[in-house]
Structure 1
């Protein structure tokens, strides 16, 4: 059996690897998620299967609440785009979270899950007049405005409805987040936000227009940041603008620093939430003292990624002269991040073997694309029928799943200290053509 030389061979000790993951552990030779056996989960619900830990979600959210507690006014707005399952949203809403949304669909998901409209911030670059109307009627807490033309549109819609729209301007600080270019959002080449150079002009315009309540300033520089310095650099640029605005008589009520703090997928070493907070708190406390500014944060991946796993079964082992393929029942249709971003995510056995030799495998799906891979060059001891767990899939996993190759999307399960329940049913074949006509 040949090994690939295109990627470094990745070998993980499963027990050591999960030691740093919340509410995931091995017990009696089997992987458990929030005290539920993955053997039970795969037998009861089948695979592929998304599994979430309720207590990991809560612990990750609480880390932000506790770390930024020295500030008197903090709102943690979970980024719905990372995982929009109603049970995930309801878990966080009950804990007191606000929500960061980017579409009307996400707005109604949050409301359906019991989230408070007043704790919703509406981001996104392409809001329409209908979107703005719907959000105003719902009573959302704030629009994060991405363009000067959007300021004018929100004013027009709010005036027509005889409502006042609360807005914050999203400023693009041109800070290099040093992350994957597809998830970088704070450079001048990115489509997001109003340029730093236009910020003062944009605020003066917003102040002059009717039916707008100018309450905040916002920035978001990217996702999966493992270094804190870009956040500090962005905060410094926001402070420059805030100081200028107050000298012009424009008094804001909150600063929104977005999200983007990274997680460990395999061997990354991201800063902890507490370390992140410690780096920002001195300047944030000064802003609170000088201007009474509260803080909004919009974490998504950092709350949900390592609260979830994707379970998948080995259907075929296919050693060839050049590479060895382990074909599993998940694919790029269920988890596109490896194919889209070349993301490297941990793949560990649900029940490690003691009697099978380790071999270097490419773990791939059955979709008819050469880009359909979940992990390359993985040292694994495999047999047909084994269950594997892909960790870090609680964010940007199911939400990016598709029906490509007419594959029904998997079920989602919520575990809670030994209990488990379906929070989204597995799609049926009939679901694949629901709404279509011959």
Structure 2
């Protein structure tokens, strides 16, 4: 396939589609790896944020591990080339098949979220004549100061072993010969913009480490989860999060024993700004209270606004000029299929809109509700957005909107 033909085929991709800026992804990964100055710090990428093959391959090439929450994510990580010893598995409802997969491949650790889970893991490990490495996921009751639907570290949340039950969990694991307690795991929430919750997490982690040390238990690793947020409101003001200050918090507040490693599970902060959802305006409709810009992307392509009332900055790639107010909505037969109200240059049918900061929890949450096609992916080394838009009229004028 010649490069020109490849480009033409990419130009023929219908909207909506996801556009990934690989240069920004590379720069983000470079910034993050340079910020990790402690050789005992290890970053695992949270595959649930974005599982596109090219994204995963780029991340693996930068030396990150993989944080998985399903068996299929483990399979994908292995397929991409992540080493088993760089893979961890979490999740409050791991199936027997998922645990069998993890144990049979000898992954780094299984983050156990309940005392009841230990017996099941032990039985499966025994069948494999293996020792399963366990990290207790502990609910530290730390307020992440984020949206209530993406907080995970409070007593009211379903995740993890309550910190008050830690001793009972230790008593239980010591009874199983095919389990080895190697670490502890925390994850207090997502899209955290203040560093204070991470400092509070360190204090709780220190208390747990001290309590276990008093029982004669040495932990090989402390997994502090992820949660570092991005700037959705003004993405260009901070395309790359301040990784230096983030890692400094753990350097400053987390007390480690000699030989202990610290694991991080970053997702959104790595891929969030590198992806955008590109959509086309189908109609501009005058409503009773506002003008509607009806686009061909919907909640099936980007669920976050419907799920969390999340804000994404929207830009008109086709027009400049004075702004008018629009309610940007999708075509799905649901009232929640809306991307919010925003100001845009005078917008018309056929204009291209870009929904920013959609690289995390965008494409992975998509569905084919209403039997819609799933949005494809275009990468910046295939074409720039400017090239796509300038050439799309020739290619798309033969296609129906």
TM-score w.r.t. the length of structure 2 is 0.89
Confirm whether residue 415 of structure 1 aligns to residue 385 of structure 2: no
Q: 2:17 aligns with which of 21, 25, 49?
A: 49
| Residue in 2 that maps onto 1:360 | 325
Question: Aligned-pair distance for 1:417?
Answer: 9.0
Alpha-carbon spacing, 1:375–1:295, altered in 2? closer, same or farther (3 Å): same
| Residue in 2 that maps onto 1:254 | 221
| Residue in 2 that maps onto 1:14 | none
Question: Aligned-pair distance for 1:267?
Answer: 4.4
Q: 2:245 aligns with which of 267, 275, 293?
A: 275
Q: For 1:91 and 1:267, how far apart are their aligned partners in 2?
A: 26
Q: 1:229 aligns with which of 175, 196, 211?
A: 196
| Residue in 1 that maps onto 2:394 | none
| Residue in 1 that maps onto 2:56 | 89
C-alpha contact (below 8 Å) 1:347/1:375 kept by paired residues? no
| Residue in 1 that maps onto 2:346 | 381
C-alpha contact (below 8 Å) 1:64/1:76 kept by paired residues? no
Q: For 2:21 and 2:262, how far apart are their aligned partners in 1?
A: 28
C-alpha contact (below 8 Å) 2:43/2:265 kept by paired residues? yes
Q: Which runs of 5+ in 1 are unaligned?
A: 1-38, 421-438
| Residue in 2 that maps onto 1:79 | 46
C-alpha contact (below 8 Å) 2:115/2:169 kept by paired residues? yes
Question: What SS does the aligned partner of 1:208 have?
Answer: coil
C-alpha contact (below 8 Å) 1:42/1:311 kept by paired residues? no
C-alpha contact (below 8 Å) 2:314/2:342 kept by paired residues? no
Q: Deviations over 1:194-243 (max 9, x none)?
A: 00111132123223321112111110000000011111111110110101
TM-score w.r.t. the length of structure 1 is 0.82
C-alpha contact (below 8 Å) 1:363/1:378 kept by paired residues? no
Q: For 1:335 and 1:116, how far apart are their aligned partners in 2?
A: 31
Question: Aligned-pair distance for 1:419?
Answer: 7.6
Question: Aligned-pair distance for 1:40?
Answer: 8.8
Confirm whether residue 61 of structure 1 aligns to residue 29 of structure 2: yes
Q: For 1:244 and 1:216, how far apart are their aligned partners in 2?
A: 13
Q: For 1:178 and 1:41, how far apart are their aligned partners in 2?
A: 45
Question: What SS does the aligned partner of 2:145 have?
Answer: coil
| Residue in 2 that maps onto 1:406 | 371
| Residue in 1 that maps onto 2:294 | 327
User: How large is the Cα RMSD of the aligned pairs?
Assistant: 2.1
Q: Deviations over 1:225-277 (max 9, x none)?
A: 00111111111101101011112111111110100000000148986111111
Question: Aligned-pair distance for 1:42?
Answer: 8.0
Q: How many residues align?
A: 376
| Residue in 2 that maps onto 1:185 | 152
Q: For 1:41 and 1:352, how far apart are their aligned partners in 2?
A: 25
| Residue in 1 that maps onto 2:127 | 160
Q: For 1:55 and 1:166, how far apart are their aligned partners in 2?
A: 37
C-alpha contact (below 8 Å) 2:10/2:378 kept by paired residues? no
Alpha-carbon spacing, 1:417–1:385, altered in 2? closer, same or farther (3 Å): closer
Alpha-carbon spacing, 1:338–1:378, altered in 2? closer, same or farther (3 Å): farther
Question: What SS does the aligned partner of 2:371 have?
Answer: coil
C-alpha contact (below 8 Å) 2:19/2:277 kept by paired residues? yes
C-alpha contact (below 8 Å) 2:71/2:97 kept by paired residues? no
Q: Which runs of 5+ in 2 are unaligned?
A: 1-6, 386-401
C-alpha contact (below 8 Å) 1:86/1:110 kept by paired residues? no
Q: Deviations over 1:19-45 (max 9, x none)?
A: xxxxxxxxxxxxxxxxxxxx9998442
C-alpha contact (below 8 Å) 2:319/2:345 kept by paired residues? no
Q: 1:217 aligns with which of 184, 188, 193?
A: 184
Q: Deviations over 1:288-340 (max 9, x none)?
A: xx342101000111111101000000110001231110001101111111111
| Residue in 2 that maps onto 1:339 | 306
| Residue in 2 that maps onto 1:134 | 101
Q: For 2:276 and 2:168, how far apart are their aligned partners in 1?
A: 46
Question: What SS does the aligned partner of 1:240 have?
Answer: helix
